[in-house]
């Protein structure tokens, strides 16, 4: 099931639980605006090349729309639409005054030079500058983009609208980025994991963890779990996979990957088939890579007791049903990986105030938001007798629906 179909299915299930009016349900489902633009740039060799860019602005009932921009060859309207909708529910779940949006360009960043990426980013910004803004739609980094990409967007946008640091988040510190932003998604995942485990009378210390993906999110998750006494027994990324039943020395593994660019030949563990990682025996499985990796074909073989969705949509609905039958508890992505957008919100606030916070303040407030959100999700689970995914969806959808009605959506 593709990400859009899965997202709509989860939304409609939550809508039925909440008893939403059918017209309101339809209104919440349809995006506010979908933008598709052609971005033609000169290559370094002088030839011209065109790429298609997208921005889907899903909902603005609770505030300016918020969502990342990804550069990836598989970017398409359905994926962007699904991710924009997920951002609407995600920001509502953690109580941020935002709506949801998402964007992307169908390209392969590794095949473009830095100057080509800059030209592409600037052309894309020129095409969408009139529909984004500090109080309208605030982009952020996503797959294939980073703080440098945001710096280019900020600079290009400011040519049209004057200096506007709050137009994007995830910026370099020298341009108004927030301390703690780089680690925020991974730190949020670990806080969410702590909340779930505490709810079941457990803690990270001593449990066995398997982590799929060792990019920005996965590496921070692995590092923070290791620091808290958790035993990371298997890790994978696109280069390979490594396991050690006694626990991997995560700082050494990250150092090895930084120096070699691969997990292969790491001396602190044994190589394993990356396909076996998701079904490796452990207490907690944390997918931090692409969506749809847990599906009806492999869900029955998963041996973890808890799954923490650090990636967007790693579990298909069919997998959810299998996990429910097996008693495996899934912490959904619209809560578990919300640390990134939460600290993006903090960055936006700091930019508007013109007053920057310490990293300690950022991390304390992130913990407060994540803990409060988990408490509210549990309340919904108890009210509606549902699992954590529907607890999160009903929380997010209910908040957006109430804001929509209060604003007078039928007028």
Of 24, 86, 43, which Cα lies nearest the Cα of 396? Answer: 86
Alpha-carbon distance of 265 to 323, in angstroms, equals 34
Buried b (16+ CB within 10 A) or exposed e, 59-83: bbbbbbbbbbbbbbeebeeebbbbb
Alpha-carbon distance of 400 to 88, in angstroms, equals 8
Alpha-carbon distance of 166 to 37, in angstroms, equals 23
The Cβ-side half-sphere exposure at 409, using a 13 Å CA radius, reads 19
Alpha-carbon distance of 69 to 39, in angstroms, equals 15
Q: Is the dihedral of CA 211, 143, 99, 11 positive or negative?
A: negative
Q: Give all strands (DSSP E) within 171-214, no chain letters.
A: 208-212
Instruction: Locate 369 and state its tokens.
Output: 């938001």
Is 208 a residue of the active site?
no
Of 145, 151, 166, 152, which Cα lies nearest the Cα of 68? Answer: 145
Annotated binding site: 66, 90, 185, 216, 344
Considering the candidates 36, 102, 296, 380, report the single residue annotated as catalytic: 102
Helices (H) and strands (E) in the chain, counts: 14, 12
Annotated binding site for substrate: 66, 90, 344
Annotated binding site for NAD(+): 185, 216
**Per-position DSSP letters for 264-316, written without gaps between them:** TT-TTSEE--HHHHTTS--SEEEE-S-TT-B-TTTGGG---SEEE--SSS-B-
| Residues forming the active site | 102
């Amino acid at each position: 099931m593709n990400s859009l179909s899965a997202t709509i299915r989860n939304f409609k299930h939550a809508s039925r639980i909440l008893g939403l009016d059918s017209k309101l349900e339809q209104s919440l489902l349809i995006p506010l605006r979908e933008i598709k633009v052609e971005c033609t740039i000169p290559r370094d060799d002088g030839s011209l090349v065109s790429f298609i860019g997208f921005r889907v602005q899903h909902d603005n009932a609770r505030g300016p729309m918020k969502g990342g921009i990804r550069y990836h060859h598989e970017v398409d309207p359905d994926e962007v639409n699904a991710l924009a909708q997920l951002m609407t529910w995600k920001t509502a779940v953690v109580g941020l005054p935002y709506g949801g949006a998402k964007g992307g360009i169908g390209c392969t960043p590794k095949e473009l030079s830095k100057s080509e990426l800059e030209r592409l980013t600037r052309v894309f910004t020129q095409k969408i500058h009139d529909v984004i803004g500090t109080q309208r739609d605030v982009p952020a980094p996503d797959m294939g983009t980073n703080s440098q990409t945001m710096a280019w967007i900020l600079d290009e946008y400011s040519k049209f609208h004057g200096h506007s640091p709050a137009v994007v988040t995830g910026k370099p510190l020298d341009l108004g980025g927030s301390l703690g932003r780089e680690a925020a998604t991974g730190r949020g995942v670990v806080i969410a994991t702590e909340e779930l485990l505490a709810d079941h009378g457990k803690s990270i210390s001593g449990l066995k963890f398997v982590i799929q993906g060792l990019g920005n999110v996965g590496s921070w998750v692995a590092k923070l779990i290791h620091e808290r006494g958790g035993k990371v027994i298997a890790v994978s990324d696109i280069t390979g996979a490594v396991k050690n039943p006694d626990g991997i020395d995560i700082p050494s593994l990250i150092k090895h990957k930084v120096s070699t660019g691969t997990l292969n030949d790491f001396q602190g563990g044994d190589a394993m088939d990356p396909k076996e990682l998701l079904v490796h025996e452990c207490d907690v499985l944390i997918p931090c890579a692409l969506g749809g990796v847990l599906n009806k074909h492999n869900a029955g073989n998963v041996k973890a007791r808890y799954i923490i969705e650090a990636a967007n949509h790693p579990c298909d609905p069919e997998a959810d049903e299998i996990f429910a039958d097996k008693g495996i508890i899934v912490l959904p992505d619209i809560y578990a990986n919300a640390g990134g957008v939460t600290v993006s919100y903090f960055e936006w606030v700091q930019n508007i105030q013109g007053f920057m916070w310490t990293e300690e303040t950022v991390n304390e407030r992130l913990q407060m938001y994540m803990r409060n959100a988990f408490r509210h999700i549990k309340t919904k689970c108890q009210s509606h007798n549902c699992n954590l995914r529907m607890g999160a969806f009903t929380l997010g959808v209910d908040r957006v629906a109430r804001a929509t009605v209060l604003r007078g959506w039928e007028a």
